[in-house]
Amino acid sequence: MAFENIDHIKLVVVDMDGTLLNNKKEMPPETLGIVNTLYENGVKFMVATGRQYWNVRDLFLPVINRMGVLADNGACCFDEDEPTSSQLLPRECLPDLLASCRTIKHSWPIVCGIDKAYIEAPNVELLTHTVAYYRRFELIDNLEDVLDREVIKFAVYDGISAEENAYPILKSFEDRMQVKVSGFEWVDINATGCNKGRGLRVVQDQLGISPDETMVFGDYLNDLEMMKEAKFSYAMENAHPQIKKAANFIAPSNEEAGVIQVIKSCFHLNS
């Protein structure tokens, strides 16, 4: 673990699951206060996550007007509760993608729009996991019925192992779309070039903030590109080996509120 005294940082970007949140999906109680303190000192706080925007919004509601969110792995960006950009999946590829998802043992797809996600009803296991990541969703009979809508992401829940079960099948789409293992149970499919790193670059350009003025935290493979966009890139102690290799620093684990530890140390915040 390495702490740095960095007075010139203007942007702090934090993944959620496995990074800011502990293994019970709980946020450190100091988080909202820290977002406020950073804002008052000219530092932008941003969440970059595979989660739906509306899920993040609920968790950060008291400070949502003081922060930014890269949701659905960078497919849509919100700043101070206002949408600023989005990137759609190619509509012509969606039927083939859905057909492939249906061949994967013990896994189920979720079709994600900006306003809400769509799930085939009902599946108790899938719903249990969906509620944790999506606030706005609709249960429908057939996902084929929504493929003509604006889709920003396919999320595939895998009850076995996303990296070993679903990904080997879905990686065949990598020449047409961005396919990422985003957690032990999840594979996310976005438009080509759509990832947290690209989303972060757009935000940096809009705000006039350089990689040298950016701090990021992440733990899993969908954070990989983001690690390259910040001088102060932190992998959590519990991170995937590839993220640790890509990061410049290691933070304490998510179970130790490692993100909060590093921020408080670097910005000299009182307990």
> DSSP secondary structure string, 187-202?
EEEEETT-SHHHHHHH
- Please name the residue that has the structure tokens 């960006």: 77
Residues 139-157 have a mean pLDDT of: 96
Residues 148-163 have a mean pLDDT of: 95
Same domain, 47 and 103: no
Please state, in angstroms and rounded to a whole number, the distance separating the CA atoms of residues 144 and 151. Answer: 12
User: Which pair of structure tokens corresponds to residue 97?
Assistant: 């993608």
Same domain, 102 and 224: no
Please state, in angstroms and rounded to a whole number, the distance separating the CA atoms of residues 128 and 126. Answer: 5
Q: Is residue 3 in a domain?
A: no
Q: What is the pLDDT of residues 170-189, one digit of tens each?
A: 999 999 999 999 889 999 99
Same domain, 185 and 205: no
What are the strands, taking DSSP E only, across the chain? 11-14, 44-48, 67-71, 76-79, 82-86, 107-112, 117-120, 137-140, 153-158, 177-183, 186-191, 214-218, 232-236, 249-251
Residue 134 contacts by C-beta under 8 Å, 6 or more apart in sequence? Answer: 51, 52, 54, 55, 110, 112, 116, 117
Same domain, 211 and 80: yes
Q: Is residue 120 in a domain?
A: yes
Select from 113, 116, 47, 118 the least CA-distant residue to 81: 47
Same domain, 97 and 77: no
Q: What is residue 8's predicted lDDT score, i.e. its pLDDT?
A: 87
Average pLDDT across the chain, whole number = 93
Same domain, 184 and 157: yes
Same domain, 184 and 223: no
Give the domain range for residue 21: 11-86+195-266
Same domain, 95 and 187: yes
Q: Is residue 271 in a domain?
A: no
CATH number at residue 175: 3.30.1240.10
Question: Is the per-residue pLDDT at 1 higher than 50?
Answer: no
Same domain, 205 and 258: yes
Q: Is residue 137 in a domain?
A: yes
**Which of 137, 161, 191 is the endpoint of a domain?**
191
Alpha helices in the chain (DSSP H): 31-40, 53-59, 94-101, 124-133, 167-170, 196-207, 224-227, 241-246, 258-266
Q: How many domains does the structure of the chain reveal?
A: 2
Q: Is residue 6 in a domain?
A: no
What residue type is 244 in one-letter code?
A: K
Please tell me the pTM assigned to this model: 0.89
Q: What is the pLDDT of residues 194-207, one digit of tens each?
A: 999 999 999 999 99
Same domain, 130 and 154: yes
Residues 126-154 have a mean pLDDT of: 92
CA distances from 245 to 20, 46, 49, 107, 249 (A): 20, 23, 20, 30, 9
Please state, in angstroms and rounded to a whole number, the distance separating the CA atoms of residues 4 and 17. Answer: 24
**Which of 141, 160, 191 is the endpoint of a domain?**
191
Same domain, 223 and 240: yes
**Strands of the sheet with 249-251, listed across from one edge:** 82-86, 76-79, 67-71, 44-48, 11-14, 214-218, 232-236, 249-251
What residue type is 76 in one-letter code?
A: C
Same domain, 171 and 255: no
CATH number at residue 229: 3.40.50.1000
